[in-house]
Amino acid sequence: MKKSVIFMIGIIYAASIMLVTFYGLVTEDAPTDSIPVKSIEIVGENVGESSGEKFVWLDSPLLSGGSLTYQIQCKLTPDNTTNTAVIYETDDPYASVDENGLVTITGFSEAGGVNVITVKVYATDDEGNKSTAITDVLNIWYASE
């Protein structure tokens, strides 16, 4: 076999590996079929339910000038949903909630009494928009001194 033929076969050999590399491999960002959320539920050890609404009692009271925190946990159905983002909202002026569901309470409306903060959780759709139909509510009860 002539050297030029061996050289050309070598080039074709390398080219075939490159061809398979660039046109025959699974691409990482290949779009997969989306699985929408069907329901969202607030869960946790101390979370109870009354009249269709979830509630939780915070053991420690809120001292003047202090703060209380509580981590909300959610369960999405189905388990393999592709829309795992959750939106947390509260209208209470004495509390805030971050994007991970950590509630921080810094004040109270009634000193020496029982207070409640309401937090709403919303599932999201394929575009990441809030889904008002798939939602749950948590009432956080706490005492103040």
Partner 1 sequence: MNNIATLAKMQLKEKLVSQKAGARTKAVSGTLLTVLTTLLKFVLSSAICFGLYTVAMVFSVFGTMAYVPDTFMTFLFTVLLMLSIASCTVRLTKALYFSRDNVILLTLPATPTQVFLSKIVVFFIFELKKNASFIIPVFVGYFLAHGHSFGFYPWLIICFIFISVFTIAVASLLSIPAAIITNFVRQRKSLQILITALSVIAVVVGLFLFVSVIPGELDLRVGWHTLGLQIQEFLMLFAEKISVIHDLTRMMIGEIIIGELSVTAVFPADVMLLRFGALLITSLALFMLSILVVKPIFYSMASKPFEYLKLLVKPKTNIVRSSKFTAIHSEFLKSAKDSARTATNIAIAVSIPMLSFVSNLIFSAMPTTEFGNKLIFACNLLLILLISLNSNSYAASIFSRDGRSAYLIKIQPKDPTLLLVAKLMPTTVFCFFSFVLTGTLLVSFSKLIITDVVFLMLGITFVYLAHLLYSAELDILNPHTEIYAAVGEYESDPNEIKSSSCAFILSFAVAALLFLLLFKEDIGSVCIKFAGIALLAFAYRAYLFISNIKLFYKEK
Least CB distance to partner 1 at residue 80 (A): 22
Q: Is 12 in the site for partner 1 (CB under 8 A)?
A: yes
Residues 100, 22: Cα–Cα separation, whole Å:
39
Residues 7, 15: Cα–Cα separation, whole Å:
12
Output the CA–CA distances (angstroms, integers) from residue 9 to 16, 17, 19, 22, 38, in the order listed.
Answer: 10, 13, 15, 20, 57
Least CB distance to partner 1 at residue 14 (A): 10
Q: Is 21 in the site for partner 1 (CB under 8 A)?
A: yes
Sign of CA dihedral 105, 108, 109, 114: positive
Q: Is 133 in the site for partner 1 (CB under 8 A)?
A: no
Residues 75, 108: Cα–Cα separation, whole Å:
29
Q: Is 17 in the site for partner 1 (CB under 8 A)?
A: yes
Least CB distance to partner 1 at residue 5 (A): 5
| Nearest to partner 1 of 11, 133 (CB atom) | 11
**Interface residues toward partner 1, by CB under 8 A:** 1-5, 7-9, 11-13, 16-17, 19-26
